[in-house]
Amino acid sequence: MKRANLEKAYRLARERYAELGVDTDRALRAAARIPVSMHCWQGDDVGGFEGAGSALGDGLAVTGNYPGKARTPDELRADFEQARALIPGTQRINLHALYAENPGRRVDRDAIGPAQFARWIDWAKDLGIGLDFNQTYFSHPRVKDGCTLSHPDKAVRRFWIEHGIRCREIGAAMGRATGKTCLTNLWIPDGTKDTPADRSGPRERLAESLDAIFARRLNPRHNVDAVEPKLFGIGSESYVAGSHEFYLGYAVSRGKLLTLDAGHYHPTEGIADKISAVLQFLPERALHVSRGVRWDSDHVVTLTDDLQAIAQEIVWGGYTDRVRIGLDYFDASINRIAAWVIGTRNMERALLLALVAPIARIRAAEREGDATSRLALLEEAKSLPFGAVWDFYCASQDVPFGEAWIAEVKRHERDVLSQRT
């Protein structure tokens, strides 16, 4: 589409939205300010660079072997930049501890520090983006019997407590260096395949371990902490120590953020309704946006009803400054850069869709008890000319609109990714 036609289509769309009281120009400015944290592990199948000697496991699995996987930190950073150039809005990058850079020597997870992430920090500063961080409690020989912080062996717990302490120091260093607060997230795989005889003991040990990790107060301008629950996983089908109820209680009682992962619930259970519920009791909360197919399969995020409901709750609830949006999926069956672009553009698309919805009119009908008009307006909004608004937004952000970005990914695959063997 020619630029003149693009602008004409946007003007017509703007007029239509204005009839419903929606200022699309204002919506575009708002969308550009909402950061989305892109997950580094999409680029290399959660492989990392620490050389710990353990294959991916402890509840995680990747499907596919598409050519062109990033093999080094520099390749991963270059791939991220390629993806980011095709996505509108504001992005951050979300790292895991197993992405430490230890050239020439092995540094175990209980000994890592900011030095192992210095190149990541310098790179983020050069790009002007924020960093988020995840403690890594999987794919390591010190995961014993599927457990880490809740394990009955004090030595096992001590190793992982030290890892958590050091990860918080890394997160604080990232926030201090970039000037953008780092979210440091904690998820553990601890649980049992079959029904345990003791449910309380692991949770008592987990609470004690968490208190030890969080004992030191860090500057909240540099680092904020989050804990992430899960319903079940591979190898923890019957019992998870860090359940939803456990971490909700812990977050509220200890003043930590709660991370809700869209794939960590029953397959038919959405997380949108949980956002406002949790924010009645916590100042902020974090999201890991994913797409589970029958289980926590971490499929590429698509523009589903569930995704739109999440974005609507964030935007319509006025929570854009209180919800930290992160993505969490990994697909090796397609071009990995394309997977980044598709999922992140869909998150951005869902947010913009929520921003241009005629919510003032819909809520007015609701206040008046007019459920008929409320439902009718919600449905009619679905056929408003959003495509023209989205295309104009992409063009105004100097990224390809429509399907044009696919050619860029294919060119990069031909010229760069195909050379990786």
Q: For the segment 338-371, what is each residue's pLDDT rounded down to a tens digit?
A: 999 999 999 999 999 999 999 999 999 999 999 9
Rounded Cα–Cα distance for residues 128 and 237 (Å): 41
Q: What is the mean pLDDT of the chain?
A: 95
Q: How far apart are CA 363 and CA 201, in angstroms?
A: 48
Whole-angstrom CA distances from 211 to 2, 165, 216, 362 are 58, 10, 9, 45
110 counts as catalytic: no
Exactly one of 41, 160, 187, 405 is catalytic; name it: 187
- 58 is annotated as an active-site residue: no
Q: List residues bridging with 224 in a β-sheet.
A: 183
Contact 265, 243 (CB under 8 A): no
Q: Which of 225, 296, 331, 348 is catalytic?
A: 296
Catalytic residue among 274, 288, 299, 412: 288
For this structure, is 328 an active site residue?
yes
Active site residue 331: no
Provide the 8-state DSSP code for 324.
E
Which pLDDT does position 392 carry in this prediction? 98
Q: Catalytic: which of 261, 313, 348, 391? A: 261
Least confident of 33-37, 101-105, 326-330, 363-367: 101-105
Q: H or E element: which one contains 389?
A: helix 386-396
Per the residue annotation, which of 50, 228, 306, 313 is the catalytic one? 228
Distances (CA, A) of 205 to 190, 210, 212: 11, 9, 11
pLDDT category at 305 given cuts 50, 70, 90 is very high
Q: Mean pLDDT over residues 71-94, rounded?
A: 97
The catalytic residue among 69, 230, 256, 274 is: 230
Helix (H) or strand (E) holding 191: strand 191-192
Burial class (CB within 10 angstroms; exposed 0-12, middle 13-18, buried 19+) of 15: exposed
Q: What is the pLDDT of residue 53?
A: 47
pLDDT in tens, 251-302: 999 999 999 999 999 888 889 999 999 999 999 999 999 998 888 888 999 9
CA separation for the pair 215, 158 (Å, rounded): 14
Helix crossing, 336-355 with 386-396: angle to 10°? 120
Angle subtended by helix axes 336-355 and 305-316, to nearest 10: 50
Closest CA to 56 of 46, 65, 64, 66: 46
Which tens digits make up the pLDDT trace of 136-147?
Answer: 999 999 999 999
Which of 58, 225, 328, 408 is flagged as catalytic?
328
Identify whether the C-beta of residue 228 lies closer than 8 Å to the C-beta of residue 278.
Answer: no
pLDDT category at 57 given cuts 50, 70, 90 is low
How confident is the model over 53-73, as a mean pLDDT? 74
Q: What is the pLDDT of residues 180-227, one digit of tens each?
A: 999 999 999 999 999 999 999 999 999 999 999 999 999 999 999 999
Predicted TM-score of the model (pTM): 0.95
Q: What residues contact 193, with CB distance under 8 A and at least 6 apart?
A: 146, 235, 236, 237, 238
CA–centroid distance for 383 within its chain: 29
244 a catalytic residue: no
Between these two residues, 45 and 214, which has the higher pLDDT value?
214
User: Any idea where the domains of the chain sit in the sequence?
Assistant: 1-22+360-421, 35-355
Q: Give me the architecture of the 35-355 domain, per CATH.
A: Alpha-Beta Barrel (3.20)
Please write the tens of the pLDDT for every residue from 126-182: 999 999 999 999 999 999 999 999 999 999 999 999 999 999 999 999 999 999 999
User: Encoding tokens for residue 91?
Assistant: 């992005």
Under the banding of pLDDT at 50, 70 and 90, the label for residue 71 is very high
> Beta strands of 238-307 (E only): which ranges?
239-240, 257-261, 285-289
pLDDT score, position 234: 87
288 is catalytic: yes
Q: Give the residue among 314, 312, 295 at the shortest CA–CA distance from 304.
A: 312
Q: Of all residues in the chain, what percent carry a pLDDT higher than 90?
A: 89
Q: Rounded CA gap, 99 and 393, in Å? A: 33
Q: Confirm whether 230 is a catalytic residue.
A: yes
pLDDT the model gives residue 55: 57
